[in-house]
Chains A and B, each alone.
Chain A
Amino acid sequence: MSKQYETVIGLEVHVELATRTKIFCGCSTAFGAAPNTQTCPVCTGMPGSLPVLNKQVLEYAIAVGLATGCDITRYAKFDRKNYFYPDNPQNYQISQLYLPICRNGGVEIETEAGGKKTVGIHEIHMEEDAGKLIHDEWEDCSLVDYNRSGVPLIEIVSEPDMRSAEEVIAYLEKLRQVIQYLGASDCKLQEGSMRADVNLSVREAGTEAFGTRTEMKNLNSFRAITRAIEGERERQIDLLEAGESVVQETRRWDDAKAESYAMRSKEDAQDYRYFPDPDLVPITVSDQMLAKIREKQPEFRTEKMARYKAEFDIPDYDIEIITGEKPLADLFEAAVACGASPKKVSNWLMGETLRLMKEQELDAGDLRFSPQNLAKLIALTEKKVINSSVAKEVFEVMFAENVDPEQYVEEKGLKTENDEGALKKVLEEVIAANPQSVEDYRNGKEKAIGFLVGQTMKAMKGKADPGTVNQMLRELL
């Protein structure tokens, strides 16, 4: 490569909103139901049916806009985007082109160099999702499931302000955090509740004009996004170096093959014939509504981090990890509110919780145990009802099934034996059975006591407090 190139990236991020019902009808948005069971005349495009806007969608969109510094459009409209495809039951998608709900915002990200930069948000608009096409290879036909048809989305369109995959990931993480904090979406890339299309072009370093861009689709993880960006950057540079030009087109990323292929070029780009949807009345956002949404805005991460620092005696690193994921922060705060010590809660989250999440490839949003149960478990250890190794065992069960630790310990008989007489009896037996170790200990071999403690714990089936055992052993010897 003789020249230096700069990568210019803009993102279109679709986020599925966490409303109970769809954007234009009362059907449930719950994931995973049997095909076409969450449908009605509206979301299946029946003749004569009409859309009615779900107010919660508007509120979420405005909340995201406010949290990302956007101007809220006080007189907004929905437009129809016309194109034929079977997953789109009306053959038009209700979206926003002319007067999107939010414009001119931005979020701050940290760059690799450790500095800060703002990625501009061109606009945020509301729209409906399409159904899902399923190809039946056996019958050689395609089937449509309209359960997803009409699920509310917001599309966040950034300015072309990013210059590397790292900046893109930082931007996405920032968006995800903000949206999760708002409760507007769980933002799971793998499940498709957050989807990013990457617009990328390259230009010679130092030049002003943008190169020809391509749009990359089908990016289902941060890893795929990173790989696709690097692959596309190289592909475009290779073309330019070979004296060829980049074609403006939409490309699909195949993460398994780590390559992309052209889906459609600008020439076959459809004319969507956008026009205001006459079935929906224009949206007017009143001062009152805006004030109400503003009032409901939650504490965002930066504020939360500052508060944790002031309120809780836990390491900065823990604060960063816990506040990085809204569900973790929620768990932390709720467990602390149940009376558990912040330090202990943090230890459980940073230790066992993260370990099991990693092992089972779970997101913070997938956590099933309740903060109440975590607080109970902490209380059990603090009162020495169970020892720490039993606690870890109980936690694993709690992590999987959200069992009540008090009840579980009771049922399984895991309580530490506090009957000193019984313990003393066992200790005497252990001492009698291991004369060599007793001898070693008495000869100053400290290690031998560890073996004896272990033998005692084994005989007690783990239900003794190792500290007490240790102490009593020393007294007896």
Chain B
Amino acid sequence: MDILDMTALQLAAAIKQGDTTAVEAAQQMLARIEAQDKTYNCYVTVDAEGALAQAKAVQKRIEAGELTGPLAGVPVALKDNLCTEGLRTTCSSRILHNFVPTYTAEAVKNLQKAGAVILGKTNMDEFAMGSTTETSAYGVTRNPHNTEHVPGGSSGGSAAAVAAKECFYAIGSDTGGSIRQPASYCGVVGMKPTYGTVSRYGLIAYGSSLDQIGPLTKDVADCAAVLEVLTSHDEKDSTSIARKDTNFTEALTDDIKGLRIGIPNDYLGEGLDGEVREAILCAADVLREKGAVVERFDLSLVEYAIPAYYTIAAAEASSNLERFDGVKYGYRTKDYAGLHNMYKKSRSEGFGEEVKRRIMLGSFVLSSGYYDAYYLKALKVKALIKKAFDDAFSKYDVILGPAAPTTAPKLGESLADPIQMYLGDIYTIAVNLAGLPGICLPCGKDSRGLPIGLQLIGDCFQEKKLIRAAYSYQQGRKAEEMTCVSNVENGQGGEPA
């Protein structure tokens, strides 16, 4: 088997058996990135030298028997909003074009402890604001299944890197669907865990109460293994939770007999593409055939999730992004007259349009006289949405639906109409508002050959149920239907639609 076609777990096993080495795997990945990333632009920064040095060190420790974990020696790509000591971290923004963190994010440290080899930092929507990776200051990322299409966002670089085999797995962050939606568009597996499961320390914040770090992988087994490594209780993050049931790989069993699955009617209504709808219902049938009890129900309140989300996330972002001011690090304008002019020019020049739009929106909803009408109301909606999910989970183990209303749109189609783009988040954002875990995995392709993603949502701390359902579904599908990984050399990708 070609190394490049291996999953992360397969590669680690091969390294452990001595069939290959961490160095060999890193070299092959770096060569592939070198050869094809000009086309896809998955990476903002590739750390070839660092990756090889890490690979050598890790290989030694594997051989010495010090590193025995299931992911030891496997190259990984990190979304460029995860701080990495000594390695440039830009959030795909001009304002951080030269920012080199002095410390490493806790989640990344967990990966390093498990023997990960960091290849580089992946492209994203600027400060994770966007659904297409087109708001990046470092160029768009192209969907490996069709380069005329977006990879989704904001973790578009991470999803595309997995799909284009430019890494064995990647890490993303999900504030309103930023892992699950690009996973859906790129035909890979992506998971947002329960809020508080993975430490946010070192994740450059967008919407702090919604942000979670999670894996983007080739299959469900990798997803469970990576999540297991990412998870830890971190005292440096006040919102981090001490969880006990984090042996997620134990849930990789092909048994869903009696699992109660609910499909919200609200997730199949107006605005949903017919082919996506068909694929989702087919996926539900697969699960039913495997013994799950599948029902339709009304979740309600879904329509209020988008305004509530954009109010809360923008409010938090407007404050979180205040620190980027040209004083301490990052971009500072060349010419300025006095402090306030420096602030104004640095921020005007350093931030892109979408980020500025959300900062203004967030500043507005927090301003005196509007706080109650917008921000507080949004928090109340958030609480009601959580309650609606609580009610649903009293009846169902898992909620099933699409991750996005359509497959990947063409490049350039989305940014012209931000409201339309925001509406595309309809199926993912309620999950963030309620702090729930959600997984997205491929369930077919549309007539244009673009991947369709199936989303499974669980109650808080019920990742294992999601993994079990996703794994069972994956086992129930034919191999060719699951192959959502393109191969640019064979000319199967990159064709204009």
Task: Enumerate chain A interface residues (CB-CB to B < 8 A).
Answer: 41, 44-53, 80, 82, 84, 86, 89-92, 144, 271, 273-275, 278-281
Would B103 and A84 count as touching, CB distance under 8 A? no
User: Contact: A281 with B322, CB < 8 Å?
Assistant: no
Can you list 10 contacts pairing A with B, beta carbon distance less than 8 Å?
A45-B323, A47-B101, A47-B204, A48-B82, A48-B204, A49-B103, A82-B319, A84-B343, A273-B367, A278-B239
Contact with A along B347-383 (1 / 0, CB 8 A): 0000000000000000100111001000100000000
User: Contacts A50-B200, A84-B325 known; A92 to B101 CB distance under 8 Å?
Assistant: no
A50-B238 CB under 8 A given contacts A91-B323, A92-B319: yes
Instruction: Decide yes or no whether B339 CB sits under 8 A from chain A.
Output: yes
B185 shortest CB reach to chain A, Å: 26
Determine if B96 is an interface residue (Cβ-Cβ < 8 Å): yes
B316/A91 in contact, CB under 8 A: no
> How close is A454's CB to chain B, nearest CB, in angstroms?
70
Report B451-469 CB contacts with A as 1/0, cut-off 8 Å: 0000000000000000000
Whether B202 pairs with A91 at a CB distance below 8 angstroms is no
A44 to chain B: which residues have CB within 8 Å? 328
Q: Are A52 and B83 also in contact (CB < 8 A) when A91-B323, A92-B319, A273-B319 are?
A: no
Partner of A50, one of B237, B316, B343: B237
| Interface residue tally for chain B (C-beta within 8 Å) | 45
Cβ A278 vs Cβ B208 within 8 A: yes
Q: Is B201 an interface residue (CB 8 A)?
A: yes
Determine if B99 is an interface residue (Cβ-Cβ < 8 Å).
yes
A144 CA to B96 CA, complexed, in Å = 20
Evaluate contact between A46 and B101: CB separation under 8 angstroms.
Answer: yes
Establish whether residues A49 and B201, one from each chain, have CB atoms under 8 Å apart when the complex forms: yes
Cβ of B318: which chain A residues have Cβ within 8 Å of it?
82, 273
Chief secondary structure at chain B's binding surface? loop
The reply on B89 being an interface residue by CB < 8 A is: yes
Interface string of B259-271 (1 = CB under 8 A from A): 0000000000000
Residues of B within 8 A of A281 (CB): 238-239
Determine the distance from Cα of A51 to Cα of B237 in the docked complex, in whole angstroms.
7
Q: Which 4 A-B pairs have the closest CB atoms?
A: A91-B322, A273-B366, A278-B209, A278-B208
- Residue contact B238 to A275, C-beta cutoff 8 Å: no
Q: Are A47 and B96 in contact, with the CB atoms below 8 A?
A: yes
Query: A52 contacts which chain B residues (CB < 8 A)?
Result: 235-238
Least CB distance, B487 to chain A, in whole angstroms: 35
Q: A46, A86, A90, A280: which contacts B238 (Cβ < 8 A)?
A: A280
Please tell me if the beta carbons of B236 and A92 are within 8 angstroms of each other in the complex: no
Could you say which of A41, A50, A92 contacts B322, with CB atoms under 8 Å apart? A92
Closest to A47 in B: B204
A279 to B207 Cα, complex, angstroms: 10
Are A275 and B315 in touch, CB under 8 angstroms? yes
Determine if B105 is an interface residue (Cβ-Cβ < 8 Å): yes
B2 to chain A, nearest CB (A): 37
- B205 interfacial by beta-carbon distance below 8 Å: yes
Chain A's nearest CB lies how many Å from the CB of B38?
A: 29
Query: Given A275-B366, A280-B238, is A48 in contact with B319 using a C-beta cutoff of 8 Å?
Result: no
A45 and B328 form a contact (CB under 8 A): yes
Q: Is the CB of A48 within 8 A of B322?
A: no
- Does B327 lie at the interface of the complex (its beta carbon under 8 Å from any beta carbon of A)? yes
- Whether A84 pairs with B201 at a CB distance below 8 angstroms is no
B490 CB contacts on chain A under 8 angstroms: none
A142 to chain B, nearest CB (A): 8
B101 and A279 form a contact (CB under 8 A): no
B418 CB → nearest A CB, Å: 22
Contacting residue for A279 out of B105, B238, B375, CB 8 A: B238
A84 pairs with B238, CB closer than 8 A:
no
A48 engages B237 (CB within 8 Å): no
- Whether the pair B238, A144 counts as a contact (CB closer than 8 A) is no
Whether a CB of chain A sits under 8 angstroms from the CB of B77 is no
Pairwise interchain contact B316-A271, C-beta atoms closer than 8 A: no
Residue ID in chain A nearest B205 by CB atoms: A48
A83 to chain B, nearest CB (A): 9
Q: Does B447 contact A (CB under 8 A)?
A: no
Which partner residue on chain B sits nearest A40 by CB separation?
Answer: B103
Report if B485 contacts A (CB, 8 A): no
Q: A50-B200, A50-B201 are in contact. Are A271 and B327 (CB under 8 A)?
A: no
Distance A46 CA – B89 CA, assembled complex (angstroms): 12
Chain B 74-116: CB-based contact to A (< 8 A → 1; otherwise 0): 0000000111000001010000100101110100000000000
Q: Name the B residues within 8 Å of A49 (CB-CB).
A: 103, 201-202
Q: Does B203 contact A (CB under 8 A)?
A: yes
List the B side residues contacting A91 at CB < 8 Å.
322-323, 325
Q: Which residues of A contact B239 (CB under 8 A)?
A: 278-279, 281
The answer to whether A48 and B202 have CB atoms under 8 Å apart is yes
Give complex CA distance A275, B103 in Å: 28
A46 and B327 alpha carbons, distance in the complex (Å) = 12
Task: Say whether, besides A49-B201, A52-B235, A278 and B316 are in contact (CB < 8 Å).
Answer: yes
- Chain B residue at minimum C-beta to C-beta distance from A42: B236
Q: Kindly state the separation between the CA atoms of A381 and B99 in the bound complex, as whole angstroms.
A: 68
Question: When the two chains form their complex, are residues B89 and A47 in contact, meaning their CB atoms are under 8 A apart?
Answer: yes
Task: Assess the B99–A47 pair: CB atoms within 8 A.
Answer: yes
Considering only CB atoms, which chain B residue lies closest to A272 in the complex?
A: B368
Tell me whether B201 and A82 are in contact (CB under 8 A): no
Residues of B within 8 A of A275 (CB): 315, 319, 366, 371, 375
**Cβ-defined contact, A48 with B316, below 8 A:** no
Q: Which of A50, A51, A90, A279 contacts B323 (CB 8 A)?
A: A90
| B328 and A48 contacting across the interface, CB-CB below 8 Å | no
Cβ contact of B83, chosen from A45, A48, A82, A86, cutoff 8 A: A48
Among residues 220 to 256 in chain B, which have CB atoms less than 8 Å away from a CB atom of chain A? 235-239
Q: Smallest Cβ distance from A25 to chain B, in angstroms?
A: 9
Given contacts A45-B323, A279-B239, 14 further A-B contacts (CB under 8 A): A41-B102, A47-B205, A48-B82, A51-B238, A52-B235, A52-B238, A53-B238, A82-B366, A90-B322, A271-B368, A273-B366, A273-B367, A278-B209, A279-B238
Bound form: Cα–Cα A275–B366 in Å? 7
- Bound form: Cα–Cα A45–B339 in Å: 18
A9–chain B nearest beta-carbon distance, Å: 26
- With most chain B CB atoms within 10 A of its CB, the pick from A48, A82, A89, A278 is A48
Contacts of B237 in A (CB 8 A): 50, 52
Bound Cα distance A280, B237 (Å): 8
Query: In whole angstroms, how far apart are the Cα atoms of A90 and B323 in the complex?
Result: 4
- Nearest CB in chain A: distance from B100 CB, A: 11
Q: For the complex, give the distance between the alpha carbons of A90 and B200 in Å.
A: 17
CB contacts (< 8 Å) of A274 on chain B: these are 366, 371
A51: chain B residues at CB < 8 Å are 238
Bound: A49/B329 CA distance, A: 14
Could you say which residues of chain B place their CB within 8 Å of the CB of A90?
A: 322-323
User: Contact: B236 with A46, CB < 8 Å?
Assistant: no
Complex Cα distance, B235 from A281, in Å, reads 12
The minimal Cβ–Cβ distance linking B64 to chain A, given in whole angstroms, is: 32
Q: Which of A86, A144, A273, A278 contacts B363 (CB under 8 A)? A: A273
> Which residues of B sit under 8 angstroms from A144, Cβ to Cβ?
327-328
Contact between chains at B339 and A86 (CB < 8 Å): yes
A-chain residues with CB within 8 Å of residue B340 when the two chains form the complex: 84
List, in ascending order, chain B residues with CB within 8 A of A50's CB.
200-201, 236-238
Q: Mark B331-354, 1 if CB is under 8 A from A, else 0.
A: 000000001100100000000000
Assembly CA distance A45 to B328 (angstroms): 9
Question: B309-320 toward A: CB 8 Å interface, digit per residue (1/0)?
Answer: 000000110110
In this complex, the member of B89, B96, B340, B368 whose beta carbon has the largest number of chain A beta carbons within 10 angstroms is B368
Q: How far is the CA of A278 from the CA of B320 in the complex (A)?
A: 10
A47 contact from B83, B209, B236, B238, Cβ within 8 A: B83
Minimum distance in angstroms from B172 CB to a CB of chain A: 15
Distance in angstroms from A266 CB to nearest chain B CB is 13
Residues of B within 8 A of A45 (CB): 323, 328
Chain A residues, Cβ within 8 Å of B83 = 46-48
**A84 CB contacts on chain B under 8 angstroms:** 322, 325, 340, 343
Residues of B within 8 A of A48 (CB): 81-83, 101, 105, 200-205
Looking at A44, A53, A273, which has the most chain B CB atoms within 10 Å of its CB? Answer: A273
